[in-house]
Amino acid sequence: MSRYEWLLFLHVLSAFALVASLTLYTVLIASMWSKDVPGDVVRVFRLQRVGDVLIGVGSIGVLVFGIWLAIDVDGYALWDGWIIAALVLWFVMAAFGSRTGKIYAAARDRARALARDGDNRPNAELRALVQNRQGLWFHTGSVLTVVVLLIDMIFKPGA
């Protein structure tokens, strides 16, 4: 395999990891939406670790291998409009993801604290944290941004 084929393979594999992480986070948010028992919420958040690895590998991988491809391939340049759009979308996705992570980390931490203290009764505060509409909107923004990013990568408008 050529260097181009390896870079493209790693770039696309990273994109799959990114999409898989967002899919996993969507399932986690949906599955804990109706939960208010600390032990149940803590169990759901255990799967978050897999998503954290996937999002780290995927988001950094698409950025690094994408830039490498843009530099390495003669037909592309970093200042091409579709590549600049992809970089902007990557930063928007990262901003949405950061905000989402902070909101749900607060829910996770509260559930862990309640479970550690032995309080495994339904908790209205915990329910409000897992049903945070702002967190849901930020996550939706991440998903939509990645969809637009994928469309940009597939169709390369202006290339």
- pLDDT tens-digit series, residues 136-152: 999 999 999 999 999 99
Q: What is the pLDDT of residue 107?
A: 97
Q: Amino acid identity, residue 52?
A: D
Place of tokens 């339904």: 122
Q: What is the pLDDT of residue 47?
A: 94
DSSP conformation letters of 91-144: HHHHHHHHHHHHHHHHHHHHHHHHHHTT--S--HHHHHHHT-HHHHHHHHHHHH
111-133: per-residue pLDDT in tens?
Answer: 999 999 999 999 999 999 999 99
Average pLDDT of the chain? 96
Q: Give 108's pLDDT tier (boundaries 50, 70, 90).
A: very high
Q: What is the pLDDT of residue 85?
A: 97
* Helix or strand holding residue 29 (H, E): helix 3-32
Backbone angles phi, psi at 51, to 5 degrees: -65, -40
- Closest alpha carbon to 65 in 146, 115, 8, 117: 8
Q: What is the pLDDT of residue 78?
A: 94
Average pLDDT rounded to a whole number, residues 13-38 = 96
Could you tell me the residue ranges of all domains in the chain?
3-155
Place of tokens 């849901």: 136
Q: Give 159's pLDDT tier (boundaries 50, 70, 90).
A: confident
47-101: per-residue pLDDT in tens?
Answer: 999 999 999 999 999 999 999 999 999 989 999 999 999 999 999 999 999 999 9
Q: What is the pLDDT of residue 158?
A: 82
Contact 80, 158 (CB under 8 A): yes
